[in-house]
Structure 1
Amino acid sequence: MSKAMEPAHHGMMTGVTMAMHAACDGVEQGTQSLGRPHEGSAERSFGRLFDRQAAQPDAADLRALAQRMAEGPDDPKDGPADAGTAFFGQFIDHDLTLDATTRLGVASGNVAEIENFRTPRLDLDSVYGAGPEVDPWLYGQEDEPLALAFGRGWSAGTKGNPLDLQRNCNDRALIGDPRNDENLFISQLHGRQFVARHNELLAQQAGDDAHRFEAARAALRREYQTRVIEEFLPAVVAEDVLRPLVDGARAGAMPGPIDWDSAPDMPIEFAAAAFRFGHSMIRQSYALNDAFPEEEIFSPVNAGFAPVSRAHNLEMGRFFGAGAQRSRPINTKIVADLIALPPTVVPDTPNLAERNMIRGQHTFCLPTGEALAEACGWTPLDAHPDIADLGLTGQTPLWFYILWEAECVGGKLGQLGGTLVAGTILNLMLRDPESILNAQAEMAVA
């Protein structure tokens, strides 16, 4: 562990903290310590930006902190972002990362040996799979073999929903990433804004089938990446943090203090902490459409992994655009239903905040928020009142620190959280020769 990353100690380590010290202790270092240049090819694994931290807050302290995160009646309900932004962020996450092997609270070992089952590029593999030759079950719509299957299935016809995902006889959605059917909101976003949009773009193309398919896929990827840079990131990252990162990415050189040239494609600090900020944005209830003006997030309407009734199709203007309802602000509160997840969602540890902090600090041994701020040369925030009250000053779990930082700057990601989120996403685009950033650079040279 580098000197800058040594944890602050506040009293004796006990219980799980001692166990985690033994489990996490080792030689695994982050790229910021090693300083090695990135190898260039897309990495299908995770990596560390910063050295792993051995000493961690006790599990009982994480549980106590998580319980204090329940949204209260006087906490702000409306933040700066549209309600759909949180679910678009979930879609981005599912397009970039999938860890299907680690277990909650069990030390992961070397994260570079953990396979990422998604490509670390904003290439929509969660929509297209590996393409029509490898994943033909995703394709074929009426007389268009290279359209993505949509709005059909065993319940098609008068009982079917033309705006639902294609499903098999067991109601499973036929999509590139099954997680995009886990709730009504991401299911509709995946189907209506990506599957259906591919089919629209395909219909506009001329030439042979192979050319038409590639042209439609390239066009949808451009639209998606443009939306990420111009809509999503400005909605969730403070402008003074985001602007230098975007300007640097467009110029082909990401600014510090993180050495992005040596960074792994998928930093575990991003995947296991920073990009989980969206959980704070989820509302307790949403207006779906005129007929359903207030539905709880775990109501029967939002069962997930099930057909969507025509009556429950989202009115998209309620989720994106000038008339949309709002996401919650990014802060240190989450709604009641995420503090007590139903057993149909998780069998144990039902508090989502607790799960996030256990995953970050105990599964992946992430540095605390204070340690990362200092490693970047920034003055750490004063401790959140609950952190101080629990005796955890200097040991703030990274995920909680990022939410506290956002709370301090008005509900968007601040210096550390915004740098980790926007920096990782923009750096991935720079490394993708087919991304819009590289296309823009080629146009500028021409």
Structure 2
Amino acid sequence: MVNLASLHGAGYRLVLREPRENGDRNLEADFFGPDGIANDVDAPLLLDLVETGAGNHLRINENVAEQIGRMILEMSPPDERNRSVREVLRTSPVRTYERAMAAAPPVDPETLERLGRLGEALLVSYGFAPPPPVPTLMKDMPSAYTYLGQFLAHEMTLWDPADASGPPQTVDLIDSAIDLKTIFKRPLGFPRNLPTHVQEEEGLPLNQTIVDSGPGFPGSGLDDLPRMDSGRALILDPRNDQNLTLSQTQVAITRFAQAAISILKPLVLTGEEVRRIVLRHFQSVVLQDYLVRLVDPKTYDDVMVNGRVWVAPSAGGGMPDPFYVSPEFSGAIFRFGHAMRRDNYSPWNTVNPNKTVMSALASDLLDFSFDGGDLTNGQLLQTWTTDWRHMLGTEGVTSIKATSIGTAWKDALFCLPGYLFQPSVHDKPCNGAQSGRLNLARRTLISGGLMGLPSGQVLAGDVQTALVNAGSPCQIPILSAAELDIPDNPAATAIMQEGPVGSRFVDHTPLWIYTLLEAAVKSDGDRLGPLGGRIVAETLSAAIEASGSGMIVNGVLQPFTPDPAFGGKSTDKFVYSDLVRLAFSGNP
């Protein structure tokens, strides 16, 4: 696999070929640098989708050619500043994906319009009367796991930290390995002299909170992301400051790493060995806690015991190096987490009975961030830190459960501030009370069309073929048209059924919607369905194997023994509550 970061450097060019095998289109590419070809000519690179920080998708032009000094790419949507593809590549960070399968045909304007209307119809606006229905909840998924999933999504799709304001440069592209890069790696331009409210412990910085709760509130006060005086977070991925629960998730993982490193200090270990131990415990949380709750047992056991058949197949001759997640995963399937969010987390923080926050609305979570504007002099109030007892269900406290996976959404959760998005010519503001905000559902569906994502039916059929070829007993049944109705939403269902048979969305369902409906139909929204669960389990397995930690070897989960000094309650796994308990030394 060739490092696409070479696109940042002067003197590089692409040579693209379009061989056809049995009528199937297969785009390949070679990279040429100043010293000649940059990849093995006998093993050409399967050209992947490239997405830039400016919000452009770069796709192969139909007229594939070999021309020195010319990038044979086109932008979709067009760059708003009328820059060339070369200018965009030289001034924007890039994110790289590896396609799991051939791209779908380019989407036509009529389909894009229909995708947009579907995204709009999926959002339901509730007034004061009648009251909105009580959301159904997942049986075994505390809300803390919603935001652990978002943290993982960012860990696997991190923007290249190239400095867009400086001259073009060749940089190392950050791959999709789950290696806690977002915790251990510092952002470009990290200041030598930190603000006084930022303190480092074990080389990892955190920010002091403003203690507004009086005596008795637990924690050291270092309970927020490290921030400049302005409030801007000093973290590798700024997206982890998009909402309060996500930023608090990064704080908890950072504090866990600090505590673990401190415990390991007396041992004669290198820094790399210490980080590996910390990483393996975090990866155990992902593999043996998060995934167990999310994927049906049969699929989980098949992936962990027998290895992967679709994502970086275990029988395929080794892990790709570097490993990048697919656009199918990042642009659709792993976005099931959007449906797990709640519009109200109650109670939020009851540690100090004299200074409680009884409810945190979805809008509060967005506001307590740098862009949200509700930080106090660039710092977080201590009472707004996460009370993990409620979000995770520790210390005998009943957890706040995540919303069931499905398509019953409130517009307050899917109409979001524009600052969370890169600009797109396809954006359309939400209506009514959410006017001026952008529709996340509409944007996700249109983006999937522009990225050439396969339909849920096509992907399910291809993965089922791979399972049969691998001798797996697992089955991925394709949902029927009747199962693809949008529950309690006749307007959205009508759009799903528009058009002649064979070209309707119930025949070729957008992959994101298919993933959500599969979970609702096959698992009652409590976990992912057979297709979604398979792709998520295999992708997280591959991303962890790519880290080189040894937790996954040749696609198979290896035995793991947690360090007893870390205080876990099991001898063969480390779970999220163990991580949080160590992070806060027994306090929530």
2:414 matched to which residue of 1?
Answer: 339
Would the aligned equivalents of 2:311 and 2:538 in 1 still touch at CA under 8 Å?
no
Aligned-residue offset at 1:199: 1.6
Letter in 2 for 1:70: L
1:346-391 deviations in Å (ceiling 9; x for gaps): 47441111111111121x1111111112222454211322254334
Cα displacement (A) at 1:123: 0.6
TM-score normalized by structure 1? 0.76
Which has the larger helix fraction? 1
Match in the other structure for 1:275: 334
Alignment CA distance shift 1:136-1:277 (3 Å): farther
Q: Are 1:434 and 2:549 an aligned pair?
A: yes
**Structure 2: distance between partners of 1:133 and 1:56:** 40
- What secondary structure, in the 3-state scheme, does the structure 2 residue paired with 1:320 have? helix
Q: Give the aligned length.
A: 395
- Pick the aligned partner of 1:297 from 362, 365, 369: 362
Equivalent in the alignment of 2:449 = 361
Determine the structure 2 residue equivalent to 1:314.
Answer: 386
* Amino acid in structure 1 at the alignment position of 2:203: A
State yes or no: 1:421 paired with 2:536.
yes
Per-residue deviation, residues 65-92 of structure 1 (Å, max 9, x unmatched): 1123225734733123111111000101
TM-fit CA distance, 1:202: 2.1
1:324 aligns with 2:384: no
Determine which of 231, 236, 241 is the counterpart of 1:176. Answer: 236
Pick the aligned partner of 2:178 from 113, 122, 130. 122
CA distance in 2, matches of 1:216, 1:351: 43
SS in 2 for 1:427: helix
Distance 1:4 1:195 in 2: 51
**Mean Cα deviation higher: 332-341 or 305-314:** 332-341
Spell out the pairing of 1:5-154 with structure 2 (5 A cutoff). Answer: 45-56=96-107, 58-70=111-123, 73-74=132-133, 76-80=135-139, 81-99=141-159, 118-129=174-185, 146-152=202-208
Match of 2:478 among 368, 375, 380: 380
Distance change >3 Å, CA 144–CA 88, structure 1 → 2 = closer
Q: Identify if the C-alpha distance between structure 1 residues 366 and 443 changes in structure 2 by more than 3 Å, giving closer, same or farther.
A: closer
Q: Percent identity?
A: 24
Q: What secondary structure, in the 3-state scheme, does the structure 2 residue paired with 1:327 have?
A: strand
- Alignment correspondent of 1:106: none
Q: TM-score, normalised by structure 2?
A: 0.59
Q: Which has the higher contact order (CA 8 A, sep 6+)?
A: 1
Aligned-partner SS, 2:552: helix
SS in 2 for 1:360: helix
Taking a change above 3 Å as real, the CA distance of residues 88 and 254 of structure 1, as seen in their structure-2 partners, is same
When residues 174 and 401 of structure 1 are mapped into structure 2, their CA distance, relative to the original with a 3 A threshold, is same
Q: CA RMSD in A?
A: 4.0
Q: Which runs of 5+ in 2 are unaligned?
A: 1-19, 26-56, 65-71, 73-94, 127-131, 162-170, 215-219, 351-355, 429-437, 466-475, 486-492, 562-588
- Cα 1:136–1:440 change in 2 (3 A) is farther
Distance 1:265 1:258 in 2: 10
Deviation at 1:437, TM superposition (A): 2.4
Contact residue 369 and residue 395 of structure 1 kept, 8 A: yes
Distance 1:97 1:5 in 2: 29
CA distance in 2, matches of 1:66, 1:201: 44
Closer, same or farther in 2 for the Cα pair 1:440/1:268, shift >3 Å?
closer
Distance, in Å, in 2 between the alignment partners of 1:218 and 1:258 is 23
Name which one, 1 or 2, has greater alpha-carbon Rg.
2
Q: Which stretch of structure 1 is more off in the superposition, 234-243 or 339-348? A: 339-348
Alignment correspondent of 1:394? 507
- List gaps (5 residues or longer) in structure 1: 7-19, 29-43, 102-114
Partner of 1:233: 291
